[in-house]
A and B are shown apart, each in its own frame.
Chain A
Amino acid sequence: MNWTLALPEIVLACIGMATLVFGVLRKQDSTLLCTMFTIGGFLIAGLLVLTRTNGFGFNGQFVADPFSAFNQILILAGAALSSILALDWNRAQGIGRFEFPVLMLFSTIGMMIMAGASNLMTLYLGLELMSLALYVLAAFARDDVRSSEAGLKYFVLSGLASGLLLYGISLVYGFSGTMDLASLHELLVRPETASAGLIVGIVFVFVGLAFKVSAVPFHMWTPDVYEGAPTSVTVFFATAPKVAAMALLLRVMGTSFASLVGAWQLLIIIVSIASMVLGAFAAIGQSNVKRLMAYSSIGHMGYALIGLAVGTAAGVRGTLVYMVIYVFMTGGTLGCFMAMRRKGRAVEQISDLAGLGANDPALAMALAIFMFSLAGIPLMSGFFAKLYIFLASVQAGLWALAIIGVLTSVVGAFYYIRIIKVMYFDAPAEPFDPRPASLSFVVAATGLFTGFFFLFPAPIVAAAQSAASVLFR
C-alpha cells in the first residue's frame, strides 16, 4: 500500500473536515479562524510534501516524484496566496463565510491528487474533487446574478469537458486494457502499434484537460467566469487549478503517450498558437480588468503549452518554470486589482485605475512591475519564463512557435502598457479605499518575487529540471 506517500493529502483532508466541523459547531462567525486553519493546513501539507520519499503508492494509483512535489508545492502556494487575499475581500463584499476557505481546501486536495496521479482513474477523481468545489466557489456570491451565472456556466461547460475526458479515458482503456500511466507507456513504446481508437481517446483526454487550462478553442468559459465570479475566486481560478491541469496534461502526455509525440504534437502546436494569438488580440478591446486578465491567462497558457508541444524534458522544464512565474505574477496582478474599491464598492474598469501612480505610488509600482512582467520585459520574471520556453522551441527547431510567440508578446505588450499608461499618464481619479494589510503583504511578496527573480533563477530552474527529468524518458 505505502499510504505514507499520500500523507500530505490525507493530513490536509483531515484538517479540512475538522475545520468544517469546527465552523458548523461554533456559534459566532469563524471565518478568520477557519482561514487560518486552512492556511496552516497548506503549510503543513507543503512541509510533508518536501520531506516525503519518492515512490509509487496504493498499488500504483499514486506517485510521489520530483514532478508531483514541484507542482504540489506550487499549487499550495497559489492556494495559500488566494486564501490570504480572499479573507478581507470577502468580508468587504459581505460574502465572508467559513465555508469559503474549506471549499478552497478541498479543491486544493483535488489538485494535489491530480498532480500525483499515476492512473487515469485517480486523475479523474482528483479532477472532479477540484471541479465540484470550484463550481460552488464560482457561485459563492449567491445573491449576485453574475456570480450565479458564472457558477452555472462553469458547471455546465466543465461537466461537458469532464464527460469528454471520461469518454477519452474509456476509449484508451478499451483499446489498451490498462489505465495505469506507466503500463500505457510500456504498451506504446512502439508507436506504430497504437490503434486509431487509442489515438481518438488521447485526443478526447487532451480536450478535457485543455478545457481546464482554458486553451483555445476550449476557452469560452474563461472570460465570463473570471468576470462573474467574486474576484477572490478569480485569483484562485487563475492560479492553482491552472497549475494542476497543466501538471496533469504534462504527466499524461509526457509519460503514457510520450512515444506517440508525433501523433499529438501538431494538435498542441495548433492549440498553443491559437491561444497565444487569441489571448493577445482579444484582450485589446477589453475594458474590465478581470476580463483582461482572463484573456491574458489564455495567452499565457498558450506560451506554457509550447513547452509541451516541444515534447522534450527541456520543454517540460520551460513549462514548469513558466507556471511558477505565471502563478506569482498573475496572483499579484489580481491582488492589485482587488485593491480597487471606492466607498466600499469594488470597481473593475481599467479607467478606474487612472492616476493610481499619484494616489498610491506603492501599489502602482507593484502593478507596473506585474504588467512589465506579463509583457515579458527583461529584468522582470516574465522575461525568463518566455526565454526558457523559446529556448526549448528553438532547440527543437519549432521556429513557427517561437516567431509567433515573440510577435504575439509584442501585441500583448500593447495592452499591458496601456494599464501603466492609465495609472501614470492619465489625470488622477478619486483615490481607492485604504487597502487591507493582508493584500499589501501578498502584493509585496509576489512583487518582490517578480521583480527580483533575476537574482536567483538557478534554484528554481534546477528544481524544474529535476521535476521535468521524470517525463519524456
Chain B
Amino acid sequence: MNTTLAIATGNAAGFPILSLITWLPLVGCAVIIMMVRGDEETVAANARWTALWTSLLVFVLSLVLWVKFDPSDPGFQFNEHVVWLPDYKVGYSMGVDGISVLFVLLSTVLTPICILSAWEAIHTRVREFMVSFLVLETMMVGMFSATDFIVFYMFFEGVLIPMYLIIGVWGGPRRVYAAVKFFLYTLAGSVLMLLALIAMWVQAGTTDIPVLMHTVFSPHMQFWLFLAFFASFAVKVPMWPVHTWLPDAHVEAPTAGSVILAGVLLKMGAYGFLRFSVPMLPEAAASFAPFMFTLSVVAVIYTSLVALAQEDMKKLIAYSSVAHMGVVTIGIFTFNVQGISGALFQMLSHGIVSSALFLVVGVIYDRIHTREIARYGGLGDRMPSYALVFMLFMMATIGLPGTSGFVGEFLVIIGSLQVNFWLALLGGMGMILGAAYMLYLYRRIIFGRITHADLRAILDLSPREWTVFAPLIVLTLWMGIYPSSFTSYFDATVGALVQSHTAALAATTKFAAATLTQTVH
C-alpha cells in the first residue's frame, strides 16, 4: 500500500487520508496480535487500550475529512487512485462524496464507543475481540469510501468475517445458529451482486463507480441488474420479508456487536441502493419503485406490530430497526430531494439512536444478565440518570421534534407526499406505532414498582457508561436542533443525484416517444 503515498495529488487533505483512515485499524490489529507477553489480564488490558487509542486516532483523522470537505462540490473528494489490476482496468480508488462522508464519520464515531462499551462486558478472548472490531472498522470505512466497484464489493463482503466471529464467539446461547444464519443470508444475497458487478464490468469495461454512474445500460439489462442488487441490498437493509436474520443476530450478538450492526451494517444496504441502484439503473429503479414502496410499507407496519408483542428488549429494538429502515427505503425511492435527504438523515439518526438504545439495553443486561422485559420494572426509582438517558433516546426513536429522529421522518413524509398520499399516510403510521411500542417498553422497564428483589441494589450509570452515552446524547440533540449542519454536507450531492435521475428518465421517455413516432410514421 506504500504506493498510495505517492498519489495524493489533488487531494484536499494533502495526503491519502482515506487510505490512512481505512487501514490504520489494521495497524492496531497487528500491534494487538503481537502482544503475547504477560499474563492474561495484562494482555487484555493492553488490547483494550490499544484498540481504544487506535479507534480514537482514526476518529480524529476522520474529523479532518469533516473539516476539509467541500459541501458545495457534488462529486467525489479526497480521491486516490492506484492501478491494481492493470489489464482489467480495476484500480484501488477511494473518494467520498456528500453521501459517504457522513457514513465514514458514523463508523469512526461508533467504533470507539463500541470498544468502550465492551470494556467490561467482554472478558474472554479480549485480544481477539478487539482485533475483530478493528478489522470490522477497516471494512466499514473502506466500503463507504471505495469508488471502485470491486474494491467496494471486497469490503462489503469482507464485513461478514469479523461480524460472524463477533456474533459466534461472544454471543448469547443461540449464537451459533444466529451467526451461521447471518453469514449465509448475507452471502447468498451478495454473490448475486457479484454477478451483476461482473456484468456491468463487461458492459462498461471499467469498474470505476463515477464512470458507471454515467454509463447507460439497456432497460432489459437494468431489470436484471436491479434484481441482483436488490437481492444483496434488501437482505442487508433488511427489508421485509428477508429480515428474519436480523432479530436473531441482534439478540445473540454481544452489545457492541448489536450496536455496530444497527448503527452501520444496516446502512450498507440502503447506501448500496443509493449508490448503485438509483443512479446507475434509473429506469429500473423507477419501475421497481412501487414494489419497493409496498415492501417498505409492509415492513413499517408489520414489524412495528411485531415489535409491540416482543418480550425481549433487544428483539423489540431489532424489529423497530426494520421498521425504521423501511422508512429509509421509502425515502430513497421517492427520487425527490426531500425524500432522499430524509432517508439519509434517517439513516444517520437511526445509526446514532438505535446504537444508543442497544447500549441502553446493554447497561441493564450487564447488571442483571437478562433481556426479558418482565424481569424489570420500576428502574426509575434506583437509576434516575439511566431513566433520563433512556427517555431521550426513546423520544428520538419515536421522532419527537428537537431530536434527530424527527427531521428524517418528517422529510421522508414530505417527500412521499409528492409521490402518493397513501404512501405518506402508511409510512407515517410507523411514527404512531413506534410511539406505542417504545412508550410501552419504557413503561414496563422504568415505571411501576420494583417487583424483583435484585433490582433494589442495582447501580446507576457509571462514569464509563456516561462517557459512552455523552457523545450520542450530544449528537442526537445537535442533529435534532440544528440539522442543517449535517444536511448541508449532502445537499449538493443529493441535488445532483435527483437531477441526473430525472434527466435520465426524461431522456428515455423522449427516446421512447421518438421511436414510437418513428414506427407510427
Check if A361 sits within 8 Å of B128, measured CB to CB. Answer: yes
A425 interface residue (CB < 8 Å to B):
yes
Question: Do A457 and B85 touch across chains, with their CB atoms under 8 A apart?
Answer: yes
Contacts of A454 in B (CB 8 A): 154
Q: Quick one: CB contact mask for A52-65 with B, threshold 8 Å, 1 for yes?
A: 00000000000000
Please report the C-alpha to C-alpha distance between residue A461 and residue B87 in the assembled complex, in whole angstroms. Answer: 9
Say yes or no: is A406 at the interface (Cβ < 8 Å to chain B).
yes
Interface status of B195 (Cβ within 8 A of chain A): yes
Do residues A410 and B191 form an inter-chain contact, with CB atoms below 8 A?
yes
Q: Given contacts A421-B176, A421-B180, is CB(A378)–CB(B154) below 8 Å?
A: yes
Contacts known (A406-B191, A424-B169, A425-B169); A394 close to B199, Cβ less than 8 A: yes
Q: A358-B125, A410-B191 are in contact. Are A377 and B157 (CB under 8 A)?
A: yes
Cβ of A90 < 8 Å from any Cβ of B?
Answer: no
**A390 to B195, alpha carbons, bound, how many Å?**
8
Q: Is the CB of B154 within 8 A of A390?
A: no
B249 within 8 Å of A by Cβ?
A: no
Give residues of chain B (128-160) contacting chain A, Cβ–Cβ below 8 Å: 128, 150, 153-158, 160
Interface SS of chain A? helix
Contact of A425 among B176, B191, B195, B198 (CB under 8 A): B176
- Contact A406:B160 (CB < 8 A) given known A454-B154, A458-B84: no
CB pair B164–A403 under 8 Å, yes or no, is no
Q: Which of B85, B88, B164, B191 contacts A417 (CB 8 A)?
A: B164
**Known pairs A391-B201, A421-B176, A454-B154; A407 contacts B183 (CB<8 A):** no
- The answer to whether B165 has its CB under 8 Å from any CB of chain A is yes
Chain B, residues 51-95, CB within 8 Å of chain A (1/0): the string is: 000000000000000000000000000000001111110000000
Residue of B nearest to A379 (CB): B158
Residue numbers in B under 8 Å from A465 (CB-CB): 87
A7 an interface residue at 8 Å Cβ cutoff? no
* Residue of B whose beta carbon sits closest to that of A414: B184
Rounded to whole Å, the gap between the CB of A255 and the closest CB of chain B is 23
Q: Contact mask B181-210 → A, CB, 8 Å, 1/0?
A: 001100110011011001101100000000
Contact among B87, B176, B195 with A403 in the assembled complex (CB-CB below 8 Å) = B195
**Complex interface: chain B residues within 8 A of A387 (CB):** 150, 194, 198
Q: Smallest Cβ distance from A71 to chain B, in angstroms?
A: 20
Q: A378-B158, A424-B165 are in contact. Are A413 and B183 (CB under 8 A)?
A: yes
Is A257 interfacial (CB-CB < 8 Å)?
no
Q: Which residues of B contact A394 (CB under 8 A)?
A: 195, 198-199, 202
Q: Are B191 and A395 within 8 A (Cβ)?
A: no
**Chain A residues in 8 Å Cβ range of B1:** 455
CA distance A455 to B180 in the complex (A): 29
Which of B158, B169, B201 has a CB less than 8 Å from the CB of A377?
B158
A383 partner residues in chain B, CB cutoff 8 A: 154, 157
Residues of B88-111 at the interface with A, using a CB-CB cut-off of 8 Å, are 88
B388 contacts A by Cβ under 8 Å: no
Give the residue among A403, A420, A424, A425 with the most B Cβ atoms within 10 A.
Answer: A425
Contact flags (1/0) for A394-420 with B, using CB distance below 8 Å? 110000001100110110011001101
B168 and A421 form a contact (CB under 8 A)? yes
Q: Please determine whether A409 and B161 come into contact, CB atoms closer than 8 angstroms.
A: no
Give the residues in chain B near A455, CB-CB below 8 Å. 1
User: How distant is the Cα of A20 from the Cα of B512 in the complex, in angstroms?
Assistant: 79
A424 nearest in chain B by CB position: B169
Q: Hey, what's the 0/1 contact readout for A356-397 against B, CB within 8 Å counting as 1?
A: 011001000000000010000111000100010011001100
Which residues 141-180 of A sit at the B interface, judged by CB distance below 8 A?
A: none
Minimum CB–CB distance for B388 against chain A, Å: 38
- Which among B85, B160, B161, B199 is the interface contact of A458 at CB below 8 angstroms? B85
Minimum distance in angstroms from A235 CB to a CB of chain B: 26
A362 to chain B, nearest CB (A): 9
Minimum Cβ distance to chain B for residue A87 (Å) = 28
CB distance from B159 to the nearest CB of A (A): 10
**CA A384 to CA B477, docked complex, whole Å:** 45
Determine if A50 is an interface residue (Cβ-Cβ < 8 Å). no
Interface hits, B161-178 → A, CB 8 Å: 161, 164-165, 168-169, 175-176
Asked if B179 is at the interface of the complex by the 8 Å CB criterion, the answer is yes
Shortest Cβ distance from residue B140 to the other chain A in the assembled complex, whole angstroms: 14
Question: Closest CB of chain B to A398's CB: distance in Å?
Answer: 12
Smallest CB separation, B7 vs chain A (Å): 16
Chain A's nearest CB lies how many Å from the CB of B46? 16
Contact A406 B157 (CB under 8 A): no
Interchain CA distance A457-B201 in the complex, whole Å: 18
Say yes or no for A462: interface residue by CB 8 A criterion. yes
Known: A390-B198, A417-B180, A425-B179. A410 touches B158 (CB 8 A): no
A417 to B180, CA, bound (A): 8
Question: When chains A and B are docked, how far (Å) is the Cα of A411 from the Cα of B1?
Answer: 34
Min CB distance A364 to B, Å, is: 10
Contacts of B161 in A (CB 8 A): 372, 377, 379
Question: What are 9 A-B pairs at a CB distance below 8 A?
Answer: A358-B125, A378-B154, A379-B161, A390-B195, A391-B202, A413-B183, A421-B180, A424-B168, A458-B84
6 interchain residue pairs of minimum CB distance: A378-B154, A406-B191, A378-B157, A394-B198, A410-B188, A425-B168
